[in-house]
């Protein structure tokens, strides 16, 4: 049977239906009486029930042709009707069966359905729907009243959406179109169906309408936006609609629609969006909205109030997705400012070629000019270069990029060592080589400069919130900005505020993000250090990143006392550190003293130069005298000796141990037991001053990973170590691989994993006695 209707009567019915209001009350069908059995139409009451939109389901189907003769009336009576089970699918255009046979041999187009009614039989109640089609009726029988109503509302929805798509696909008069859009929105808001598509379908219809009609006036734009605003309260706009919103923000940033309608939409996006990578136009719309706020009279004050509204009035933001989404918007906006320069990379030397000082032609267009400046590493001459470079900045446009590279002796040695290495050179090494030379000065367009200023200010605002700062530091730790931005003086100067906020934060999870995210990659610490491309303050920010802020150790306490960190400074930043110490910077004086104390510097001449630097200032002279006193005491301890074995009483603390070790000579101490005391990792800085220590018992103490890492760097001659029932984990135990003299190791009841245990066995050749009971490796 063909339910799409090809007869003249069917065509008339469809024409009548198309002329009805789309949301008008469904009138009773006329002239479609059903055969013999009397029936009554059940009234649909709004009882507050909610239904899920059906896409498919099992249902009984019966088709009744309109009786035209007495015999056909008998054949269509209820006693002779035949019901067929079908699995129906409610597609976008029609109702179809998974088994196209019998009554459902052909699909039923929504345009052929003239009416949908609920039916209830008097004698034998059945849960039926009546679909009126040209020349007959289709009955659908469900298992219960809820399923019947669910099918009813789903069919009604599919039928109306199909008609709206047709009506709004060929608009004639925009005032009529606007009225239909409002009616469509009301239908979606009052529908008893609960499904994402209920609100998304009208938005997609309007989105398609706008994308296909570009001749709308600004007033038409605002009228449509206001009409669909109720649907946007709980739904993201589709991609094409985002493009329309972006266009409106750019063309009319001061429109009240931006504030009144777009604000809740953007707030919802920032609170609930999970991945801008899947919805890039949502990010672009958010970006344009913020720029529109910046165009208002109050400018950044409005943006600041918006950011505050996203955070909330309390000290803790209740929406965990707001910060990552805001940062993603900022990063994308900043990237777009330098996109013109980034696109020119195809014609510029690669990072490896810049570092190696060579260029491969390889079918390349004419290379952008590259200037290599080799100068003396003398610090005074570097200061002279600073003045000259500031007087003669290099202007970079999309057509010509000048890169000024100044290398000192250390950098030249690194460059020579890396010749032939195919790995990508370090980003910051390619951008900078001098503490004073301005690598590159970029001129942005007026629009790009405005965007850059707005979104860097937003990053500053984000860094002012204490609860957001740890996550913000973590997101920015890998330095997610293009190298063109890092070479732009204005950008790095403005971003300096954010880095300063990280450095001032006493929480380790914040200031530790200033370091590189992994070995071989530079971080903000290197970028803003003397010699870094972003350093413009002679090392003040660098000093604050490792100095004492109000007598509270920040970075110093967590990382810079380690030999690895001091070695890195000695290899790469010794000259700038000496210069800052020469100018009386207390942090740099402490660093130089620690380098001498831990024998970081092997060269005698360099040691004498450091000593001369320390003695040139009052603070340096005082600290160096204290260092000399400590060294004399250490030599005295080693000469006089002292006990070879020592056991601390139970419940002793770090302070008790410190007082004990400072009260006498322990140069010969070989066996120290701290078992069942209350010592922590903080006592490690005292333990490393015991040069003869060979056996250490830390059983049932609070000694953790941090202390274990410090011991592994200094007590390399330790032979016996008991860590039973301590809170150490794999992170600290792995550091023991450098203690090659270990022959007995007790890790009973620790968080040792099997992989770490195997790694330790492979790297500790002298290990003979191991206790791993009650661990994962047992």
Q: What is the DSSP string of 430-490?
A: HH---SS----EEPPPHHHHHHHHHHHHHHHHHHT-TTTHHHHHHHHTT--S-HHHHT-HH
Per cent of the chain over pLDDT 70 is 74
The pLDDT of residue 76 is 55
pLDDT in tens, 584-595: 888 888 888 888
Going by pLDDT thresholds of 50, 70 and 90, the confidence category of residue 646 is: confident
Q: Is the pLDDT of residue 750 over 80?
A: yes
The pLDDT of residue 770 is 93
Q: Which comes out higher in pLDDT, residue 18 or 141?
A: 141
User: Which range is most confident: 343-357, 398-412, 628-642?
Assistant: 628-642
Name residue 65's beta-bridge partners.
136
Neighbours of 698 (CB within 10 A): 27
Neighbours of 641 (CB within 10 A): 13
Q: CB-based contacts of 398: which residues, under 8 Å, 6+ apart? A: 340, 341, 343, 344
Average of per-residue pLDDT values in the chain: 76
Going by pLDDT thresholds of 50, 70 and 90, the confidence category of residue 440 is: low
The pLDDT of residue 356 is 38
Q: Which comes out higher in pLDDT, residue 83 or 170?
A: 83
Per cent of the chain over pLDDT 90 is 35
The pLDDT of residue 631 is 75
Candidate from 6-15, 607-616, 710-719 with smallest mean pLDDT: 6-15
Q: Is the pLDDT of residue 665 over 50?
A: yes
Q: What are the φ/ψ torsions at residue 128 (nearest 5 degrees)?
A: -120, 155
Longest dimension (CA), the chain: 128
Mean pLDDT of 731-755: 92
Beta carbons of 307 and 458 less than 8 angstroms apart: yes
The pLDDT of residue 275 is 85
Mean pLDDT of 689-710: 91
Mean pLDDT of 139-143: 91
The pLDDT of residue 636 is 54
Mean pLDDT of 42-49: 49
Mean pLDDT of 12-33: 33
Candidate from 164-173, 189-198, 638-647, 737-746 with smallest mean pLDDT: 638-647
Residue with tokens 């910051």, as numbered in its chain: 428
pLDDT in tens, 269-302: 999 988 898 889 999 999 999 999 999 998 899 9
What does the alpha-carbon distance between residue 567 and residue 561 come to, in Å, rounded to a whole number? 10
Q: What are the φ/ψ torsions at residue 549 (nearest 5 degrees)?
A: -105, 110
The pLDDT of residue 642 is 67
pLDDT in tens, 534-586: 887 767 787 777 653 333 333 444 444 467 778 877 887 787 787 778 778 88
Q: What is the DSSP string of 611-663?
A: HHHHTTSHHHHHHHHHHHHHHHHHHHHHHH---SEEEPPTT--HHHHHHHHTS
Report the run of H or E that residue 553 belongs to, with start and end.
Answer: strand 552-553
Q: Is the pLDDT of residue 46 over 50?
A: no
DSSP-derived letter for residue 99 is S
Candidate from 190-194, 212-216, 693-697 with smallest mean pLDDT: 212-216
Candidate from 348-362, 674-688, 748-762 with smallest mean pLDDT: 348-362
Q: Is the pLDDT of residue 110 over 80?
A: yes
The pLDDT of residue 23 is 27
């Amino acid at each position: 049977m063909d339910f799409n209707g090809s007869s003249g009567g069917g065509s008339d019915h469809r024409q009548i239906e198309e002329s009805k209001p789309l949301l008008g009350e469904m009138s009773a069908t006329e002239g479609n009486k059903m055969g013999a059995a009397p029936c009554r139409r059940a009234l649909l009451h709004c009882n507050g029930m909610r239904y899920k939109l059906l896409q498919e389901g099992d249902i009984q189907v019966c088709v009744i042709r309109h009786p035209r003769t007495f015999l056909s009336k008998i054949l269509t009576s209820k006693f002779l009707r035949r019901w067929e089970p079908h699995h129906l699918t409610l597609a976008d255009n029609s109702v179809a069966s998974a088994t196209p046979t019998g009554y459902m041999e052909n699909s039923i187009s929504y345009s052929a359905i003239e009416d949908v009614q609920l039916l209830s039989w008097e004698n034998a109640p059945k849960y039926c729907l009546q679909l009126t089609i040209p020349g007959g009726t289709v009955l659908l029988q469900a298992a219960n009243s809820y399923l019947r109503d669910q099918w009813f509302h789903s069919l009604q929805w599919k039928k109306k959406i199909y008609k709206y798509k047709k009506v709004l696909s060929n608009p004639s008069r925009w005032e009529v179109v606007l009225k239909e859009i409002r009616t469509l929105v009301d239908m979606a808001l009052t529908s008893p169906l609960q499904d994402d598509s209920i609100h998304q379908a009208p938005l997609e219809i309007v989105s398609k309408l706008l994308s296909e009609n570009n001749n709308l006036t600004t007033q038409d734009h605002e009228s449509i936006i206001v009409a669909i605003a109720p649907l946007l309260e709980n739904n993201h706009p589709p991609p094409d609609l985002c493009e329309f919103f972006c266009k409106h923000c750019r063309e009319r940033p001061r429109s009240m629609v931006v504030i009144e309608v777009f604000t809740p939409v953007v707030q919802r996006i920032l609170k609930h969006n999970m991945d801008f990578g899947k919805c890039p136009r949502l990010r672009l719309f958010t970006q344009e909205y913020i720029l529109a706020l910046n165009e208002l009279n109050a400018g950044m004050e409005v943006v600041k109030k918006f950011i505050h509204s996203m955070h909330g009035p309390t000290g803790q933001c209740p929406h965990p997705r707001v910060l990552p989404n805001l940062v993603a918007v900022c990063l994308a906006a900043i990237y777009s400012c330098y996109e013109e320069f980034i696109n020119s990379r195809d014609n510029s030397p690669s990072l490896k070629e810049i570092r190696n000082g060579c260029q491969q032609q390889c079918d390349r267009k004419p290379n952008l000019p590259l200037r290599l400046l080799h100068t003396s590493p003398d610090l005074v001459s570097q200061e002279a270069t600073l003045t000259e470079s500031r007087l003669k900045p290099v202007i970079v446009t999309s057509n010509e990029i000048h890169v000024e590279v100044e290398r000192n002796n250390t950098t030249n040695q690194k460059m020579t060592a890396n010749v032939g290495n195919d790995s990508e050179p370090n980003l910051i090494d390619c951008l900078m080589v001098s503490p004073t030379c301005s690598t590159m000065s970029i001129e942005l367009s007026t629009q790009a400069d405005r965007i850059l200023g707005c979104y860097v200010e937003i990053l500053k605002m984000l860094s002012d919130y204490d609860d957001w700062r740890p996550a913000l530091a973590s997101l920015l730790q890998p330095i997610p900005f293009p190298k063109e931005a890092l070479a732009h003086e204005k950008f790095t100067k403005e971003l300096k505020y954010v880095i300063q906020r990280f450095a001032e934060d006493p929480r380790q999870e914040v200031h530790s993000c200033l370091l590189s995210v992994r070995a071989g990659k530079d971080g903000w610490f290197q970028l803003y250090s003397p010699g870094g491309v972003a350093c413009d303050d002679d090392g003040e920010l660098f000093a604050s990143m490792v100095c004492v802020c109000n007598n509270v150790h920040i970075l110093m306490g967590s990382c810079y006392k380690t030999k690895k960190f001091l070695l890195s400074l000695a290899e790469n930043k010794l000259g700038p550190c000496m210069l800052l110490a020469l100018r009386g910077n207390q942090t740099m004086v402490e660093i130089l003293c620690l380098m001498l104390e831990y024998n970081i510097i092997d060269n005698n001449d360099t040691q004498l130069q450091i000593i001369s630097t320390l003695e040139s200032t009052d603070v340096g002279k005082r600290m160096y005298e204290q260092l000399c006193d400590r060294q004399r005491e250490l030599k005295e301890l080693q000469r006089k000796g002292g006990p070879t074995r020592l056991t601390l009483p139970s419940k002793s603390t770090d302070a008790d141990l410190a007082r004990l070790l400072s009260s006498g000579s322990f140069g010969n101490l070989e066996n120290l037991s701290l078992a069942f005391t209350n010592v922590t990792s903080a006592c490690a800085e005292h333990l490393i001053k015991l040069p003869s220590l060979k056996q250490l018992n830390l059983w049932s103490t609070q000694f953790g990973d941090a202390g274990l890492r410090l011991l592994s760097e200094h007590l390399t001659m330790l032979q016996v170590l008991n860590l039973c029932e301590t809170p150490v984990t794999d992170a600290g135990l792995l550091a023991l691989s450098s203690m090659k003299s270990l022959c007995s190791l007790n890790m009973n009841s620790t968080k040792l994993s099997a992989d770490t245990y195997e790694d330790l066995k492979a790297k500790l050749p002298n290990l003979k006695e191991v206790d791993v009971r009650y661990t994962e490796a047992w």
